[in-house]
Amino acid sequence: MDNNNQSHLYLITGLIFGIALGLLISLVIAPAVHQVALPEELSAPSKAEYRLNIARAFQASQNLERAQSRLALLKDPDSTAALIAQAQELLASGGSEDEARALVSLASLLESAPPALTPQP
């Protein structure tokens, strides 16, 4: 019976040692580093995906002010021109017409938006 208790003691000791070693490695020696990229720092393909997601969200919510504020985060010189150019590239590469239509629809509404809703740089 003494032998049985001793084997359980080794298991518990090994479990505690393993957890402690795992915590030491993950928190002190090699912690996970989370990098956050601002929309303006994204690569060109990622910016294109971001614009497309904004256009899709606008189709769902019809909230022009929110779409404008999200586009302003990209800090494009001309958001409308960027949306239209992306729609043209999408169609030229054989992409979805619905996605291109969403981009152009948002661009046309941005162009006709009153000056009060236009984001300030």
Three-state SS across 44-97?
A: HHHHHHHHHHHHHHHHHHCCHHHHHHHHHCCCCCCHHHHHHHHHHHHHHCCCCH
Contacts of 75 (CB under 8 A, 6+ apart): 39, 40, 121
| Same domain as 83, residue 112 | yes
pLDDT tens, position by position, 102-121 = 999 999 998 887 654 444 44
| Same domain as 43, residue 6 | no
Looking at residue 112, what DSSP letter applies?
T
Higher-confidence residue of 18 and 5: namely 18
pLDDT of residue 116: 44
List the domain range (segments joined by +) for residue 2. 1-34
Q: How many domains does the chain have?
A: 2
**pTM score, two decimals?**
0.66
Give the range among 31-35, 47-51, 58-62 with minimum mean pLDDT: 31-35
| Same domain as 54, residue 21 | no
| Same domain as 26, residue 50 | no
| Same domain as 113, residue 70 | yes
| Same domain as 111, residue 61 | yes
| Same domain as 25, residue 52 | no
pLDDT tens, position by position, 77-99 = 999 999 999 999 999 999 899 99
